[in-house]
Structure 1
Amino acid sequence: MSPVVLLSGWGCDARLWEPLAGYWPARLEVSTPDWPGHGGRPALADPERLADLADAMAADLPPEAIWVGWSLGGLLATALLGHLPTPRGLVLLGMGARFCHPDGVTEEALATFQTAFRRDPEATRSHFLRWQLRGEPSPRAAHHRLLGLIGRGPCAPRATLAAGLHQLAHLDHRHHLAAPPCPIWRVAGEHDPLLATSARDEADIRLADAGHCPMVSQPEALAACLVEIAGEGSP
């Protein structure tokens, strides 16, 4: 069974993955490294420079592992395929080839969000945390649980979060999905409010009764899904 590396998305750090801890089999090696600037980890001087990000994450992303990137983490993990040794496989959780889509989060909506973030970063992040939970079975309970995991304060410096929004707007990996250098699985909550309907329909695995944050609302189902993929990724 291949090791699994879990990578968080925009506005959150690795504490997000704690609900899955009780569902991993003993034989599976799971790690949850933080991105630079998160979880007390030093931020990059230029958070958008992928070569620097690859250098910072190289020890955390071994080629024998399955990399699981959630949301922005999926875009960043895919971008690092061009900078690091190819992993055993890649899971895009709640993410397609790009973030913006005419039938999902439009470029105009993201640009408006970026403007709001420049004016009031923390209020905008707080709004985003609630927004992404709309597809969960109980959004209010999911929001309470999420805040219990990551807290209410900022998870990263303002420059790091701003760079993440720019990456959400501009990273486009359609070429990777057209000719993947490793097996790639797309996993989506069936009610993910941030994904276009077509992106949910094209997912390899759809999680029932889940939205964009199945690690919060459906941790057992998500863990079981990733355990199955880790088994498929074994030599």
Structure 2
Amino acid sequence: MTWTTRQRSEAGALAYVSAGRGPRLLLIHGVGLRAEAWNAQIAALSDCFEILAPDLPGHGGSAALSGAPRLQDYSERIARLLDRPAIVVGHSMGAMIALDLASRYQDQVRGVGALNAIFRRSPAARNAVRERAAELDGMTAVDPSAAIARWFGTEPSPERLACHDWLSGVDPAGYRTAYSVFANEDGPNDADLMALTCPALFMTGGLEPNSTPAMSRAMADLAPDGMVKVVEEAAHMMPMTHPTAVNRALLDFAEGCQP
């Protein structure tokens, strides 16, 4: 598909894309990307849902957070879109935010989807992501080549080009701040997963080396109403590269979360 830029609305310092009508579906992207990373989901699901897709703070049209924010600070900024109950779905760092929102805003979150989420990284993976974070100075434009290679390999595609452009254009300070938070998190704790009161979908790709199927299964086992879905041929950018499978899973999940 064509990864075109969408018009935004604003809620304070938060910019977001909105589309459709119906039950609310809140989509939260990962580090370095922007709301358009969900274009395939917006196109497919806005016939059934009111979709809100914010830019993370410091990304796209959203203002950066001040100081040295924590994951919860990202959640608090995005929580202003929970003025009515919603199903919250996040990808990568967005999945961490989605799970945090589900834990702390139980009355407003009817279901949570965590796509390509990390949980208890291996020591090697933890060291690698923290080393990448330490290399960022917050002033120099991001070099997307390493991330693009991890996500897409060497094959050219519209999805690869779109992510390259988004990473190249992201605010260096906003990216550094978000990536540092992402690198120093290790996923939700067991107690928060066990205390989830809504259905929880943990979904990842079978070829995903960092947010592995084992991580998704471990989180689903802890959540009272957890379920796992693995798209065997997909890797990290699953919502963009395998939208048919992701859209079908999200539609089935969201329909099951309705009162």
Q: TM-score, normalised by structure 2?
A: 0.75
2:75·2:97 contact (CA, 8 Å) conserved in 1? no
How far has the Cα of 1:163 moved from its partner? 2.1
Give CA deviations for 1:8-65 in whole Å, capped at 9, x if unaligned. Answer: 0011111111123432262222221111222212112136145643442223235521
Residues 69/112 of structure 1: CA separation in 2 closer, same or farther (3 Å cut): same
How far has the Cα of 1:90 moved from its partner? 0.8
Give the match for residue 241 of structure 2.
Answer: 217
Structure 1: distance between partners of 2:118 and 2:163: 26
Q: Which moved more, 1:196-205 or 1:162-171?
A: 196-205
How far has the Cα of 1:217 moved from its partner? 1.2
Structure 2: distance between partners of 1:58 and 1:76: 10
How far has the Cα of 1:150 moved from its partner? 6.7
Q: Secondary structure at the match of 2:155?
A: helix
Structure 2: distance between partners of 1:25 and 1:160: 29
Q: 1:7-26 alignment to 2 at 5 Å?
A: 7-24=28-45, 26=47
2:102·2:112 contact (CA, 8 Å) conserved in 1? no
Q: Does 1:177 align with 2:193?
A: yes
The one of 222, 227, 233 equivalent to 2:251 is 227
Q: TM-score, normalised by structure 1?
A: 0.82
Give the match for residue 159 of structure 2.
Answer: 145
Unaligned runs of 5+ in 2: 1-21, 221-227
Give the match for residue 42 of structure 1.
Answer: 63
1:70·1:92 contact (CA, 8 Å) conserved in 2? yes
- Compare relative contact order (CA 8 Å, sep 6+) and give the higher one, 1 or 2: 1
May I ask how many residue pairs the two structures share in their alignment?
A: 226
Q: Secondary structure at the match of 2:258?
A: coil
Give the match for residue 158 of structure 1.
Answer: 172
Q: Which moved more, 1:207-216 or 1:194-203?
A: 194-203
Q: Secondary structure at the match of 2:47?
A: coil
How far has the Cα of 1:94 moved from its partner? 0.3
Equivalent residue letter for 1:115: A
Q: Secondary structure at the match of 1:118?
A: coil
Structure 1: distance between partners of 2:217 and 2:75: 31
Structure 2: distance between partners of 1:200 and 1:29: 27
Equivalent residue letter for 1:224: R
Residues 152/58 of structure 1: CA separation in 2 closer, same or farther (3 Å cut): closer
Structure 1 stretches of 4+ with a deviation exceeding 6 A read none
Higher strand content, 1 or 2: 2
Structure 2: distance between partners of 1:130 and 1:33: 26
Give the match for residue 122 of structure 1.
Answer: 142
Equivalent residue letter for 1:225: A
Q: 1:78-97 alignment to 2 at 5 Å?
A: 78-81=99-102, 83-86=104-107, 87-97=109-119
2:117·2:211 contact (CA, 8 Å) conserved in 1? yes
